[in-house]
Chain A
Amino acid sequence: MIVAADTVAVDWYLALGALLFTVGAVGLLIRRNPLVMFMCVELMLNAVNLTFVSLARELGDVGGQVVVFFVLVVAAAEVVVGLGIIVSILRRRPGATADDMSLLRG
């Protein structure tokens, strides 16, 4: 419930984070374009960041914000490497989707 005071209850932020995470997860499952799938992963990471910051404010803990910092750094590194992989795959097969790389089928 939105409080009349100046703050919004932490539950709302958490709910927003959960929704954002869900949208990202569903997008990951539905889309076939590897780049779009990657973007959905970024959505999920952002949802987590939001959750951390909200709880940091709620608990009065700086550690939450430090974690977000690290998540950001790692996400950046991850995007770099991931896009490098996507580039090297799509260079050989321009129209490839996530479903075309199924060599590991049992």
Chain B
Amino acid sequence: MTDLTWLIPALPLAGFLILVVAGKRLGEPLAGWLATLMVAGSFAASVIVWLGLRGSDGGPHHVFTQTLFTWLPAGGFSVDVGFLVDPLSMTMCLFVTGTAALIHLYSVGYMHGDPRFSKFFVYLNLFVFSMLMLVLGDNLLLTFLGWEGVGTCSYLLISFWHEKEANASAGKKAFVTNRIGDWGFMVAMFLSFAALGSIKYTDLNAGAGGLATATATGIAVLLFVGAVGKSAQLPLMVWLPDAMAGPTPVSALIHAATMVTAGVYLMTRINPVLSAASPWVATMIAVVGAVTALFAATIAVAQNDIKKVLAYSTVSQLGYMFLAVGSGAYVAAIFHMITHAFFKALLFLGSGSVIHGMHDEQDMRRMGGLRKLMPVTAITFIVGWLAIAGVPPFAGFWSKDEILLSAWNKGGVGYVLWAIGLITAVLTAYYMSRQVFLTFFGEPRWKKVGVREGGEGEQSAEAVETEQGGGPDEPVLEHADAEHGEEVHPHESPWTMTVPLVLLAIASIFAGVVNLPFTGRVQTLQNWLEPVVGAGEVHVDVATGVKIGLAVLATIGSLIGIAAGVQLYLRRRFEDRPADPEILERGWYYDQAITDFAGGPGREGFDGVAWTDAHVVDGAVNGVGWLVRVAGGGLRRLQTGYVRSYALGIALGAIILVAAITIRSSVL
């Protein structure tokens, strides 16, 4: 059954190719159904392969490799296209294909009426293919292929409505920021090949123990640089909020559930190398994760665009996952990745449903009271809210709790990180509550806006200014024209959009079952992932009483956050704008700082480099040419054209010869 592994990426690839050729002809909605079918087939194949792996196919260690063909035979360096089927990759495949299938279904409804309907699914299928190659590849280069592929599709999909320059810029920003991380990935590949002669995971992980600490540290740090870029951690997180310019299904699939988790996957995959590296690497990863989590959470508190809140929330949750990786709790990281995929995708799709129902309105200050008008969306959104806030028994509680526990277990700086994580959890609960209350409860503020067609009404427009652009404050609007002056009639979305919402909601409720922390048998995920991460996993060594205490503390924190949200946003009126300090709204001016740096000292640096290139490098090259020319010009004077001076030269040569002979013979 595991022989069917190749089907998993092949089906989306087939979908991509068919749609490239015949997409326009198939048109709406057939192109969408075809794409969804392909991804659903991929999910089915994943299930079959997973069942085979659980059975006897993989042997006791549950590892199975399938090599398709040799991709790059280059003398001493040979790369095969091969798939590494083991518990980790199958877990990733399952939830990637599952959420992708649901989001494809959702997109059929969401992208209804878009002139480039089929092209959207072309990119989506290509993305799923790339992601699966990333996850299933058995060597670093194949993963890198998928890594770059998802980056490209991310760029293509973010700037899907590229008529608006802001969207195109957001796509470019994502691509360029990712590239910085990719540099780290590539150098790590080179290092791995130089140290071990191979870039296959099996070789890398088996040989990790034998690596010099410096080499292992180098590889681990460089791969982490790549992960920082792809998973939007500090300092490369700037692209993710801007990426909200893409259509909502894109945000759900790529920037919540799958692509951004690639960094966490990579770190988990190479956990033996991480263990072989210097201890400060793991601490650094944990610190970066925790600080990013807190940083993003503080910004999310003051955002007014419904998607921006979720974007910063994603950055924050990814920080949690890296905190877990740094604390040696790979299982917790993967667990949180799975649960986060479910509830974040749910939240994004729900927000998309809201946006769709509100006729492309994205500013939460103009929403309110929608729960009666969009009941399914509201209920599923609330489920997602409770999950992310960490309220038991929803899925988010279990996974987040495990991460906090592992941070506590790390000791030393781990206690500080645990405190940061706890504060972030409180903030998470608070801003998510704020979002829910602003959107679904309270007074319907969209009726107040009134007529905005024609010229801008000065007063109302001033209060709720919509600027184009990519900063954290400005709502990056999806569609080309979002200023509908007409009256808004919010309505529930079609079944293609609500069915995925319901399914994801169910998953968000019950996904915690996968790894309940009680007894050994119930910890299914931990047992399942044991062969992959067992060696690197740091086992929690905390008394049960402390565990329960920490869990209770986390729950109390969540409830405090929710209560704060209730107090500020449910009971009060909107005009008070109780807690939106400008500095948070502007994202601690981080984006602004980058722009200023690039424009100011950065520019000076670039100009300096350009000057050096033009004068020093080119100067050297041109200098050689100048030298040759001058020398040639000097030597040219020997060619007088007069035969007699040439004859003189010959005579002088003859004299030299004679002199040489004389000297030689007299010496002899």
Contacts and interface: CB of A to CB of B under 8 A. Distances in A.
Direct A–B contact in complex, judged by CB atoms less than 8 Å apart: yes
A16 B125 CA distance: 101
B640 to A, nearest CB: 6
Interface of B: 636-644, 647-648, 651
A98 B643 CA distance: 7
Nearest to B638: A106
A58 interface: no
Given A102-B640, A105-B642, 19 more contacts: A25-B651, A28-B644, A28-B647, A29-B644, A98-B642, A98-B643, A99-B644, A101-B641, A102-B641, A102-B642, A104-B639, A104-B641, A105-B639, A105-B640, A106-B636, A106-B638, A106-B639, A106-B640, A106-B641
Contacts of A29: 644, 647-648, 651
Contacts of A101: 641, 643
A32 interface: yes
Interface in A55-76: none
Nearest to A30: B644
A88 to B, nearest CB: 16
Interface residues of A, number: 12
A105 B641 contact: yes
Contacts of A28: 644, 647
Nearest to A26: B651
B641 A103 contact: yes
Contacts of A106: 636-641
Contacts of A102: 640-642
A49 to B, nearest CB: 18
A98 B644 contact: yes
Contacts of A104: 639, 641
15 contacts: A25-B651, A29-B644, A29-B647, A32-B644, A98-B642, A99-B642, A99-B644, A101-B641, A102-B641, A102-B642, A105-B641, A106-B636, A106-B638, A106-B639, A106-B641
Nearest to A22: B651
B652 to A, nearest CB: 10
A25 B638 CA distance: 21
Nearest to A103: B641
B659 to A, nearest CB: 14
Interface string A75-106: 00000000000000000000000110111111
Contacts of A99: 642, 644
Nearest to B639: A106
Contacts of B644: 28-29, 32, 98-99
